[in-house]
Structures are given as structure tokens and as C-alpha cells.
């Protein structure tokens, strides 16, 4: 039995179930169009069942020793290591990413599991001084209760686990709504790992469904206290607005439009390597990807020549093949939309230094230059293998161009002077910025999140504890208080 046949179900209160909706989500291999699974969507009633199961189970889980919770996460880590090859193959099939991308995703997910193991025993209470004689102020850190996790298709295993594992380690229960392009690697696989690691029933639930079936029920239901969402800013705005109306806390990891900046003293060969990776890894379907590559005019000619040569060497094709760097986009809609974006840019006066062909979901790399500064393409997220080269004169103009976008997620600058790079990084409106590296980076202890339309809140390390716990003040009066009346 394949992993898709086995795990393409709803998972509610410890039971693998069929959805009770009237239509199916079809899980398709984006490279060859093969049907991997058909999953009948979950209904509003099943949303309620999942949340109520989580609510019941969480009350007891919150009282469980953090060392016992830690043991479950340790079990998930062991199982992930044992099943790594199977996970990698499933990711290639379902997501269309290369083998290198899939192995990186599993490797980083294991690092986040190791951090979640530590988070289980990290929260600490505090005793604070009081204005009142004889009073003791305790501030306890407690789980929020139930967390909803709505995850994307591009790194579904990693991004989902980044919320699920620490939320459970900290004493919460979780309901996952995976992206419908990744229902197994972002949902069923994770449920099976926790089930096999001994997580009690009800604490983790997976709902494969769509807004067309359930509307906003996932957001408006009274049980979840925190919504952890990763996806587009368009959907994220809606999630944030609905959650705020119902007094729910959100962590929103949204779109990006990162700039990789090449200053006049950069190591050009190294900058080219970083730029090619930052733009084209997983076909550019990464929120931190370098949409825009800003190059000082002093080195523009040399950088462009080397960059174009490297891009032309990239192979597009079957992601199972080791010599392929560019696999398919996730679905035909994305491939057609990206092709239309490039056509429009060329009509607006851009020049194609490399013009890749589109064959089904396979979109070869494209490199554009000469875009007008008011081109809409420069201000938006491009979720595909299209690089925009933009020249600048001096650091001030580079900062202005880097900030000329509604987004502020990530970025990078290349210079031989590290402190110059740090000064530059501080001027860019982004939640994360890297000196002499890729725009794409994530680490378990470093706060991850964006500014402006790239989201609200942070994850990783201490930020994760803040996201999935709440603080309660408990005061104790030793002796008698004196009241004014």
C-alpha cells in the first residue's frame, strides 16, 4: 500500500476517516500528472468534531509532565530518521521538488524537532515584587489550549512541524489544515508519525478540506485560541481580520519579495552562487526567494555575464533525476500565470537575457532586465523561476529599491566588508536579512517572520514559546490586606 493510499484521509480524534463532504480533493503529482489520491473533503461538522476532540484531550495533556510530552517528540524524531527515505520520495512525488530539496526539508525538520524536545521543559514561571506588603506575585506560563495550523504547499512537512511540534510540547492540542496541494506530506504523514510515537488520541487532528466547503469555520470556531498560518498575504489578510474579530491570536508567515543586493566590492562568483540558489531553489516557489537581484552598476556587466551563464546551465525536468535542478511548478494554474507575467513584462519593455519555455507544469528559468521602475512585477511576489536583474548607483539607491515593495520578509547583501553589510542590513525593512549568504535561511533558535505585508508575529526559539503559551498572574496575600473601605 502506498503512503498516499494509506494516509490520504481525515484524522480526527485518533481515527482515520473519510470526509463527509460531497466532493473530492485530487492529489496530483505535478511532474507527470499522476493521480496520487482522492480525498473527500471534511465538512463543517467534522471541523467541530476535530476541535472538540482537541479541546477534550488538551485538558489532560496540559497536566502531563513536560518530560512525558518531551518523550513523544523524541519518538517522532526517531521515526522521522527511520522513515526519511520514504518521506523524501513522497515529497518529490507530491510537491515536485528535487531530491536535494526534499532531503533538506527533512533535515531541517529534524532540527526543529530537536528544538521542540527542549521547548517541552523550557517555560519558566516568575516571582515578581509587589507594591503591597506581604503579597507574592507569581506569573505562570501556560499552554493556550488549541492551536489551528494552516500550512502551505511548498515546505509542508517542515512548516507544519514548526508549529505542531512545539505547540504539543508546550501542552497544547492542534488541528492541522494542510494545503490541498500537499495533503499527505503536510497532514497525513505528520499525524501518522505522532500516532506511532504514542501521542494520545485527540491531541492532533488533520482536516483536508477547502474554504468552498467550510467557509471560515476553521477560523471562527470558538475552540482554537491561536491560528498559525503560512501562505499568501492575500489569504493571510483575511485570516488575520477574521481571527481579530473573534479575539484570536495569530502568527502570520506571508508572502515575500526579497532582494539580494550585490555591492561594488562583492565576491562576484560567490554572489552569483548565492543569487542562483536564492532565486531558483524549488523553482522559486519559496517565500524568501530572491525575486529581485540588485547589482551595483560598477559590477553589473561582470555579474550579469556570470549569472546568465550559470542560469543557462540549470536543467529542468524530472525532479527524481539527480542532475535536475528545476522541477515542475505545483499546478497548471501557477505555470500559466507565471508565463503570462513574463509576457506582460516583455510587452512593458523588459529584456529577456534568458527566456525559458513552458511545457505543462515545467517552466524553464527566465532572466529579465530593463524593467521600468514602476513595473508591477518589481513590487510583487513571483512564485516561480523568474529572476529580475536591477542595476543601482550606490548604497542609498540600493536601500531605496530594496524597500520599494509592500513586503519585508527576507533579503541578503554581498560585500567583502562585513560591517558594511551589517550597516546595510539595518536599513532594509525586513524581518530577516543575511550578509554574504542566501536570502533563504531558517534556524530553530533565530526568530522567523516578516515586516509590512509579510506577516505578523514570529516563530522559532523563544518566539515560539510566546506564540503558543499565555501568561497568568497569580497573587498570594500572606497576612491580611488593608482595604480603603
SS3 123: coil
Q: Which of 135, 116, 115, 136 shows the shortest CA–CA distance to 125?
A: 136
SS3 407: strand
Residues found in the chain: 485
Distance CA 37, CA 42 (A): 15
Distance CA 255, CA 66 (A): 35
Q: Which of 327, 339, 322 shows the shortest CA–CA distance to 32?
A: 327
Distance CA 477, CA 190 (A): 46
Residue carrying C-alpha cell 526517531: 78
Residue 265 CB coordination number (10 Å): 15
Strands (E), 97-231: 126-128, 135-143, 146-150, 173-177, 204-206, 226-230
Residue 482 makes CB contacts below 8 A (sequence gap 6+) with none
Active-site residue among 49, 287, 364, 381? Answer: 287
395 is catalytic: no
Active-site residue among 49, 55, 105, 253? Answer: 253
287 is catalytic: yes
Positions marked active-site: 253, 287
Amino acid at each position: 500500500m502506498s503512503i498516499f493510499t494509506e494516509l490520504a484521509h481525515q484524522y480526527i480524534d485518533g481515527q482515520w476517516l473519510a470526509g463527509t463532504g460531497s466532493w473530492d480533493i485530487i492529489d496530483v503529482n505535478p511532474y507527470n500528472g499522476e493521480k496520487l489520491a482522492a480525498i473527500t473533503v471534511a465538512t463543517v461538522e467534522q471541523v467541530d468534531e476535530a476541535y472538540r476532540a482537541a479541546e477534550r484531550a488538551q485538558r489532560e495533556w496540559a497536566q502531563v509532565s513536560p518530560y512525558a510530552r518531551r518523550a513523544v517528540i523524541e519518538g517522532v524524531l526517531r521515526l522521522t530518521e527511520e522513515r526519511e527515505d520514504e518521506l523524501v520520495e513522497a515529497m518529490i512525488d507530491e510537491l515536485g521538488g528535487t531530491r536535494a530539496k526534499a532531503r533538506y526539508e527533512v533535515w531541517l525538520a529534524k532540527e526543529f524537532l530537536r528544538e521542540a524536545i527542549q521547548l517541552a521543559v523550557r517555560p519558566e514561571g516568575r516571582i515578581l515584587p509587589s507594591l503591597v506588603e506581604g503579597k507574592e506575585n507569581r506569573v505562570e506560563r501556560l499552554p493556550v489550549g488549541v492551536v489551528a495550523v494552516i500550512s502551505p504547499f511548498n515546505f509542508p512537512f517542515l512548516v507544519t512541524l514548526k508549529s505542531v511540534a512545539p505547540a504539543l510540547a508546550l501542552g497544547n492540542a492542534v488541528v492541522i489544515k494542510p494545503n490541498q496541494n500537499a495533503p499527505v506530506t503536510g497532514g497525513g504523514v505528520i499525524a501518522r508519525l505522532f500516532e506511532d510515537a504514542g501521542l494520545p488520541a485527540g491531541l492532533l487532528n488533520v482536516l483536508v478540506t477547502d474554504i468552498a466547503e467550510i467557509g471560515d469555520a476553521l477560523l471562527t470556531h470558538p475552540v482554537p485560541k491561536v491560528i498559525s498560518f503560512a501562505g499568501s498575504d492575500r489569504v493571510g489578510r483575511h485570516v488575520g481580520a477574521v481571527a481579530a474579530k473573534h479575539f484570536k491570536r495569530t502568527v502570520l508567515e506571508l508572502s515575500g519579495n526579497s532582494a539580494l543586493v550585490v555591492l561594488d566590492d562583492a565576491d562576484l562568483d560567490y554572489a552569483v552562487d548565492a543569487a542562483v540558489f536564492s532565486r531558483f531553489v524549488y523553482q522559486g516557489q519559496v517565500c524568501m526567494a530572491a525575486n529581485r537581484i540588485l547589482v551595483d552598476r560598477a559590477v553589473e556587466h561582470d555579474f550579469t555575464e556570470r549569472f546568465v551563464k550559470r542560469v543557462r546551465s540549470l536543467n529542468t525536468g524530472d525532479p527524481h533525476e539527480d542532475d535536475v535542478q528545476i522541477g515542475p511548478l505545483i499546478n497548471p494554474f501557477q505555470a500559466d500565470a507565471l508565463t503570462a507575467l513574463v509576457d506582460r513584462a516583455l510587452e512593458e519593455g523588459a529584456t529577456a537575457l534568458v527566456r525559458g519555455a513552458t511545457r505543462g507544469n515545467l517552466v524553464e528559468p527566465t532572466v529579465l532586465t530593463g524593467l521600468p521602475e514602476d513595473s508591477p512585477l518589481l513590487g510583487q511576489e513571483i512564485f516561480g523561476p523568474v529572476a529580475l536583474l536591477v542595476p543601482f548607483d550606490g548604497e542609498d539607491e540600493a536601500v531605496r529599491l530594496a524597500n520599494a515593495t509592500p513586503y519585508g520578509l527576507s533579503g541578503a547583501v554581498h560585500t567583502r566588508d562585513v560591517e558594511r553589510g551589517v550597516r546595510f542590513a539595518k536599513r532594509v525593512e525586513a524581518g530577516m536579512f543575511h550578509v554574504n549568504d542566501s536570502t533563504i535561511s531558517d534556524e530553530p533558535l533565530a526568530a522567523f517572520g516578516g515586516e509590512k505585508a509579510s506577516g505578523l508575529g514570529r516563530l522559532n526559539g523563544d518566539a515560539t514559546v510566546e506564540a503558543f503559551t499565555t501568561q497568568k498572574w497569580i497573587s498570594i496575600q500572606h497576612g491580611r490586606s488593608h482595604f480603603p473601605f
